[in-house]
Amino acid sequence: MGSGIALACAQKGFTTYLYDNNENTLQKSYTSILSNLNKLKEKGKFSDQEHNEIVGRLHVSTSLKSFSSCTLVIEAAIEDLNIKKEIFENLEQNIVSEDCILASNTSSLSITSIASACKNSNRFIGIHFFNPATLMPLVEVIPGIETDKETLRLAIQWIEELGKVSVTAKDTPGFIVNRVARPFYSESIKIYEEGIASFAQIDEALKEIGKFKMGPFELMDFIGNDINYTVTETVWRQFFYDPRFKPSFTQKRMVEAKRLGRKSGKGYYDYLKEQTEPTETLSKATAHQLVDRVLLLLFNEAADAVFMNIASKDDIDTAMIKGTNYPKGLLKWSDEYGIKNIVDRLDLLYDRYHDDRYRVCPLLRDMAQSQQNFFS
């Protein structure tokens, strides 16, 4: 992720420094960046001169002191709160200027918690890119409790200069995308665990009927099951073990077996063998029912993000389209599906399972009673 952010910055004309404390890791990252740039040049995306200018703007270093002249530093270290706090404490006390903006690319940790390592936490903010950072248009901006308005304004302005689309989210677990998208994975796994359909059948149904570009199991294998599981577990823990975000044994066992997805050769699918179509075709009724279950929980989670003032309605829909490639914004999609229909179907699921993952967001219930939509 750090390499992708660095390349995105250098491509847009910013003098960029890429840091890692491990020389081998740093050189691998730099080699990968140069390889990607060469491929783009061969495809005619850059002229020789533009290629050389991008490379000239990109510097690598194993010393944080190289950031002394930077006006913005974005951290993309592993999701470990103590490591992140240590980095920023060192940066603030020993290296960067007083007006340098400090930012974290964390996907699941609290911005306010990380910022607590800084004496001047009003210049700290979350700037969360999506992978691959050079291609994905969305960036979530997350102010902490102490972040001042000027820091937020400058962060959004910089993201616009980078050619990205920004959405602003409250500092809560998962922000917008990693919170709202959890049911896409968790409910699909639950459907599999109940023996209703296979991985491939669920993926096929959600692509064919739901019009998602990738099925949940394909996507988890692409992201990495270790990464996806860690985010799920972190969000669940930070929500004080709310059943809506509970991780699954199925994915935990995948991680324990080192079936991490494409990067390990095996995940929910075996990438060392030729992929085959599902051996049995689901009935239309079963396929529609499983797609409905996933959609209903996605609609409910998006509504809850509105209810809890996580972000604006427009930003939530933008985030789910630009950050996850969903076919529609979930709130607009909810209007089309029918708010009362969502509430009634979720109530049926709750009556069957008596599991709080199916509890209806109060906002949806109020809207159903007053016959309101998210958008007129």
Q: Which one of 3, 108, 121, 128 is the catalytic residue?
A: 128
Burial 222-252 (b: 16+ CB within 10 A, else e): ebbbbbbbbbbbbbbebbeeeebbbbbebbe
Q: Which one of 75, 140, 204, 301 is the catalytic residue?
A: 140
The count of C-alpha atoms lying within 13 angstroms of the C-alpha of 126, restricted to the half-sphere facing its C-beta, is 29
Distance CA 52, CA 315 (A): 37
Residue 291 burial (CB count, 10 A): 21
* Tokens 């964390």 -> residue: 106
Annotation says 68 is catalytic: no
The answer to whether 329 and 321 are in contact (CB under 8 A) is yes
The answer to whether 306 and 331 are in contact (CB under 8 A) is yes
Annotation says 107 is catalytic: yes
Annotation says 128 is catalytic: yes
Q: Which one of 107, 121, 188, 225 is the catalytic residue?
A: 107
Q: Which one of 29, 105, 178, 188 is the catalytic residue?
A: 178
Annotation says 150 is catalytic: no
Using alpha carbons, select from 179, 182, 138 the residue that is nearest to residue 319: 138
The answer to whether 216 and 203 are in contact (CB under 8 A) is yes
Catalytic residue list:
107, 128, 140, 178
